[in-house]
Chains A and B, each alone.
Chain A
Amino acid sequence: MYLKKLTMNDFMPYAGTQEVDFTCDPEHPVILIKGENNRGKSSLFAALRWCLYGKAIKRSGRSIPDYELLNDNAFSENRDSFEVQLEFTNNGDNYLLTRSCTVKKDAKGIRNSSSSKVYLFVNNDAVPNDDISRYVNLVLNESISMFFLADMEVLEGYEALVEDDDDASYQVKAAIEGILGTPTLLAIRQSLNDITNDTLKEMQSARKANKDQDQLTSDLKIQEDKRDKAKEVYDDAITELKNKKLELSDLSDKLEKISDSQQLIAREKQLSSEIVRDQSQVDKSRKELQIAVRESWWAPVSKQVEKKQIQTQTALQLASSRETEMSQLQYRLTSLEKSLENNTCSQCGSVLPNDNIGTTKSEIAEIEARIKELSEPISPTLQYLLAESQRLGFFALPRKADSIRTLEKQIRLLLNDIPSRNQEIKEIGQKLMGINRDEIKELEENRQILNRRIGVLSQIMKTENQKIQDAEKEINSLTRKFSNLSSNLGQSEINMEMAIAADLATVMEDTIKAFREAMKKRVEKNANEIFQSLRSENVVKNLVINENYGLRQVDSKGIIFDHKGAGVAQVIAISLILALARSAALPSALVLDTPFARLDDTHRDNILNFLPSESEQVILLIQSGEKISPKVQQQFMQKVSKEYSITMGSNEHESFIRRA
């Protein structure tokens, strides 16, 4: 990765829009950025990291909230957003990465939250938002960014590689191996393992296909047998049908010749059948009649009830008339007795003649006799008759007379037809004299049998034809499957692929192991070369690399020698950074923040002499007053392409970066 241009807008101390052009040529690979302490060197360094990874971290290790990154002057002037844009190239591709942030404040006007956006264009093509982080990390993994964007005042990260075995160290180790190209080899090995697994599955599938093929062959045989058997039955049925139809034709001819007799016989049969049917109906009606008659024993009871009811009504009428008569007689008797007593006429009031007295007395006697007679109770009594009528009412049932009459009529009608039919049968018998009825019957029976057989044969043909069609359909389907299976079977090729992939995977495993060792040795060798060039004394002879790519010193006797000053630690860190840069699969820019902070003059001069040759782009952020010895300065400054200086603006919250 080589940087082309950085544009900051209201980022940290950089108020407004400020640009840094990083383009340089191989003859002049150094970009020098100078500034006083707290003017913005580390902020510019932070701008690079924030733009790439969306994180700004203080040297203390504390991450800085995004809303704190907005320039204070901009915030006080009510500007609420800031942006960093970085243009760079990697492996021939052009990248344009833009990250912006909008800051929000609370009711008291204190900034307290933010939301950010990021865009990436590679060769003018937009990268989907979800992929941006992956793309950036593939260019320069965040874990190893400390080797290329190196803040030389923070050496803990480099020293941790020597001692720590924690996850972070492993991540750095993995990222270093990423620079060296190990993941590519790991991907090849993984692919080979995958191919081995895939081909194994294909082999298993092929074996299964073999089993399936056997099964299909067996199924095909079954279906073919079914079809052949059905065809055989079908053909037999056709042959038999033809024969039966011929027989039927012969038989029909014979029956045609005796069709008159046949008709008479048929009529005779019909009549007989009708007689039997009517006789059966008569029998049935007779049984119903018997039942109706049996059920009609209730009839006398009904008659008795009816009689009693009439008797009761008569008695009631009699009682009523007797009562009326009694009343009239009582009235007459009273009048006559009064008349006799007063000797006057009861009607006209005139004096009765003597002759009439006797008559009156006689009439009184008659009336009294009649009253006496009327006072006698009716026999049977009215109460008895009423009670009896009510009791018998419970036994009253509908009478069966109508039903009996209908049945009797039906039986008569049926019996009437039987003699005429018998007569017709008799006449037919006379006409059929001399005709062999058994022969006709046999012929007729044969025809019926033939017709039935023809029906059966037609059904057989239909069924067998369906079986043939089903079997053919199944055979077609099985053949297709068989064909597919056959085309999938390339067992020998799959087997070869599997064997080769498996052995290649073993080769790659071995290669990766050896490659890692070689790369470590290579980094160690490079680091030693660089270290030898940078060191200023002879106390330490060499560096040795550990599993984590951490570097340790060994003395002249090869014994590990960990007692080192801050300056030496920094030289070792720079040695590792440069060694990795030399060993990397893809070249990259080196951005070093305050690389000379802990170094003495000799080390500083050595590094200044050495750095320009280690990368095609070296960006150094150094203090304005950094002392550079005259003998180095002239040579070093010849390598500088551009020089920038960071200066304070109108207040401490404002810095400007300008070409010097």
Chain B
Amino acid sequence: MARKVDINLDNPIKQAASIAKTSVKNLKNEFSDISKEHITDEMIDSLILVAINSKFDDSPLVIKQKIRNIIKQKIKKIV
């Protein structure tokens, strides 16, 4: 049987999520107080999910709106 390589099981973009989470830990000291409080692994996962689910027809505006909604929802939860 053809090896179903690790393409689907190990999507590179999914790997980006773990890279980004590491980056958050590394950069946290440079964040603003607001970001320190709000940028979490959950938010990074949501962000990467937007990347994974983006389609051909998704214009930059659509992606931007999706991301902004993620940030707004996070803020609302806290507020």
Please report A residues at the B interface, Cβ cutoff 8 Å.
26-27, 29, 134-135, 138, 180-181, 184-185, 187-188, 190-192, 194-195, 198, 493, 495-497, 499-504, 506-508, 510-511, 514-515, 518-519, 522, 581-587, 612-616, 639
Q: Choose from B15, B56, B75 the contact partner of A493 (Cβ within 8 Å).
A: B75
Given contacts A185-B51, A496-B75, A500-B71, contact A519 B12 (CB under 8 A): yes
Q: Please, could you name 17 A-B residue pairs with CB atoms under 8 Å apart, sorted by A?
A: A187-B60, A198-B64, A493-B79, A497-B71, A497-B75, A500-B71, A503-B27, A504-B43, A507-B27, A508-B20, A510-B27, A514-B19, A518-B15, A584-B7, A613-B2, A614-B5, A616-B2
Contact assessment for B27 and A26 in the assembled complex, using a CB-CB cutoff below 8 Å: no
Residues on the A chain within 8 Å of B22, using CB: 514
Residues on the A chain within 8 Å of B3, using CB: 613-614
Residues on the B chain within 8 Å of A587, using CB: 5, 7-8
Contact assessment for B23 and A511 in the assembled complex, using a CB-CB cutoff below 8 Å: yes
What residue of chain A has the Cβ atom nearest to residue B25's Cβ? Answer: A507
Residues on the A chain within 8 Å of B47, using CB: 188, 504, 508
Q: How far is the CB of B17 from chain A (nearest CB, A)?
A: 9
Residues on the B chain within 8 Å of A615, using CB: 2, 5
How far does the alpha carbon of A198 sit from the alpha carbon of B67 in the complex, in Å? 13
Contact assessment for A499 and B60 in the assembled complex, using a CB-CB cutoff below 8 Å: no
Q: How far is the CB of B72 from chain A (nearest CB, A)?
A: 7
Q: Choose from A503, A519, A612 the contact partner of B2 (Cβ within 8 Å).
A: A612
Given contacts A185-B51, A497-B72, A585-B12, contact A191 B63 (CB under 8 A): yes
Residues on the A chain within 8 Å of B30, using CB: 503, 506
Given contacts A507-B23, A511-B23, A613-B2, contact A187 B63 (CB under 8 A): yes
Given contacts A135-B56, A187-B60, A587-B8, contact A500 B13 (CB under 8 A): no
- Closest CB pairs A-B (n = 9): A503-B35, A191-B64, A511-B20, A510-B23, A613-B3, A499-B32, A184-B51, A499-B34, A29-B2
How far does the alpha carbon of A586 sit from the alpha carbon of B52 in the complex, in Å? 11
Contact assessment for B64 and A582 in the assembled complex, using a CB-CB cutoff below 8 Å: no
How far does the alpha carbon of A188 sit from the alpha carbon of B15 in the complex, in Å? 15
Q: How far is the CB of A213 from chain B (nearest CB, A)?
A: 22
What residue of chain B has the Cβ atom nearest to residue A29's Cβ? Answer: B2
Contact assessment for B16 and A185 in the assembled complex, using a CB-CB cutoff below 8 Å: yes
How far does the alpha carbon of A495 sit from the alpha carbon of B71 in the complex, in Å? 12
Residues on the A chain within 8 Å of B68, using CB: 195, 198, 497, 501
Given contacts A26-B2, A27-B1, A497-B68, contact A586 B7 (CB under 8 A): yes
What residue of chain B has the Cβ atom nearest to residue A585's Cβ? Answer: B12
Residues on the B chain within 8 Å of A499, using CB: 32, 34-35
Q: How far is the CB of A381 from chain B (nearest CB, A)?
A: 122
Residues on the B chain within 8 Å of A507, using CB: 20, 23-24, 27, 39, 44
Residues on the A chain within 8 Å of B38, using CB: 496, 500
Give 7 A-B pairs besides A27-B1, A511-B20, A614-B3 with Cβ atoms closer than 8 angstroms: A187-B63, A188-B51, A501-B67, A507-B44, A582-B7, A587-B5, A587-B7
How far does the alpha carbon of A334 sit from the alpha carbon of B9 in the complex, in Å? 171
Q: How far is the CB of B77 from chain A (nearest CB, A)?
A: 12
Q: How far is the CB of A107 from chain B (nearest CB, A)?
A: 46
How far does the alpha carbon of A527 sit from the alpha carbon of B69 in the complex, in Å? 40
Residues on the A chain within 8 Å of B75, using CB: 493, 496-497, 500
How far does the alpha carbon of A468 sit from the alpha carbon of B68 in the complex, in Å? 47
